[in-house]
Amino acid sequence: MTDRLLLLRSLAEAVARSGPGSGTGVCPPDPERLCRAAADLLGASGAALTCAPAGPARFTAGATDEVAVRLAEVEDLVGDGPAVRAVRHGRTVGTLLGAGAPGRPADLPPDVAEVPPVFAVLAADAVAPDAAVATVAVRSWPVRVDGRAVAALTVHGPVAGLTAEALADGQVLADALGPALAGLAGAPARARRHRAVGMLVAQTGLAPDDATALLQARAWAEDVAVADLEDAVLDRRASFARGEAPGSLPA
């Protein structure tokens, strides 16, 4: 698909077909529906929309599935990856993950930038720890508002989806998501992150950026979603006060 107007019309129709999603059903559509529509149009298995991925205020506004969530959390933990680099460099960045993609595969397209080895290792396990598909493609596009990259659209799926047409379509779709961010559909996730980090700062005395890193590291170590750990901190079911040993979150 190369016609911009046709692609944007297809995005609107795909969002409408996706139903109300997990949001309130008011305009603009919630990020989960936008991600699902974009993933479907790009032939991907799933997608995530991450706001300010290269900064300390980073948060995932929406994701279609557990794999998309885990990929976003790996970037949270590592502080680098396709979404971070797409926003920093203002262009699409992708990589191949899985047992079929050790190091930099010989067939990796020249425009696909390498990602940090630690991201590749952790993300490969998150994408397909025991899947039959040996290699998975992950690609991010910057979401631009008034020419400035403010977020990233990241998709994962079959390697066959890495076509020149998909690369161009992905940028059109990513930019189309920009106006939706003005509706602050992801505000609850951002507010939850800020409140949880504030409690960690009070408990540990760390700077906000360090408290955020500690939150992400513990979530990864305990194999729980960062959002679930944030909720546990806010509900006082989890504490980072000195003397508390990490472990499974209490119910």
Q: Are residues 143 and 131 in the same domain?
A: yes
- Enter the pTM of the model: 0.69
Comparing CA positions, the residue from 40, 57, 36 lying closest to residue 49 is 36
pLDDT attached to residue 183: 54
Q: Are residues 123 and 224 in the same domain?
A: no
Q: Are residues 132 and 148 in the same domain?
A: yes
Rounded Cα distance between 155 and 86, Å, is: 12
Asked if residues 183 and 24 have their Cβ atoms less than 8 Å apart, the reply is: no
Q: Are residues 180 and 158 in the same domain?
A: yes
Q: How many domains, the chain?
A: 2
Comparing CA positions, the residue from 11, 31, 12 lying closest to residue 21 is 31
Pair of tokens at residue 143 = 């979401």
Rounded Cα distance between 129 and 19, Å, is: 31
Pair of tokens at residue 93 = 């960045």
Q: Are residues 50 and 150 in the same domain?
A: yes
List the helix and strand counts (H, then E) for the chain: 9, 5
Q: Are residues 200 and 153 in the same domain?
A: no
Q: What is the CATH number of the domain that holds 125?
A: 3.30.450.40
Q: What is the CATH number of the domain that holds 195?
A: 1.10.10
Q: Which residues share a beta bridge with 46? A: 156
**Residue 121 covered by a domain:** yes
Pair of tokens at residue 135 = 């290699």
The position carrying tokens 């930038």 is 113
Pair of tokens at residue 50 = 């991450």
What is the chain's pLDDT, residue by residue, as a tens digit (251 residues)? 556 677 777 777 766 665 554 444 444 457 888 888 889 889 999 999 988 777 766 788 889 999 999 899 888 888 888 999 899 888 898 888 876 654 544 444 555 555 777 788 788 877 765 555 568 889 999 998 888 888 999 999 887 767 778 888 889 889 888 877 665 445 666 677 778 888 888 888 888 878 887 887 788 778 787 778 888 888 888 888 765 545 555 55
Rounded Cα distance between 154 and 141, Å, is: 7
Q: Are residues 35 and 114 in the same domain?
A: yes
Q: Are residues 101 and 194 in the same domain?
A: no
* Sign of the C-alpha dihedral computed for residues 223, 40, 58 and 55 taken in this order: positive
Q: Which domain holds residue 93?
A: 4-184
Q: Is 38 left (phi over 0), alpha (psi -120 to 50) or beta?
A: alpha
Q: Which helix (H) or strand (E) holds 49?
A: strand 46-51
pLDDT attached to residue 224: 80
**Residue 99 covered by a domain:** yes
**Residue 242 covered by a domain:** no
Q: Are residues 175 and 193 in the same domain?
A: no
pLDDT attached to residue 28: 46
pLDDT attached to residue 25: 41
Rounded Cα distance between 131 and 133, Å, is: 5
* AA letter at 198: G
Comparing CA positions, the residue from 36, 143, 139 lying closest to residue 96 is 139
Rounded Cα distance between 83 and 61, Å, is: 13
**Residue 40 covered by a domain:** yes
Q: Are residues 63 and 172 in the same domain?
A: yes
Polymer length of the chain: 251
pLDDT attached to residue 26: 40
Q: Are residues 207 and 145 in the same domain?
A: no
**Residue 98 covered by a domain:** yes
Pair of tokens at residue 236 = 């006082």
Cβ neighbors of 220 (< 8 A, separation 6 or more) are: 73, 74, 77, 122
Q: Are residues 209 and 107 in the same domain?
A: no
Q: Which residues share a beta bridge with 94? A: 139
**Residue 249 covered by a domain:** no
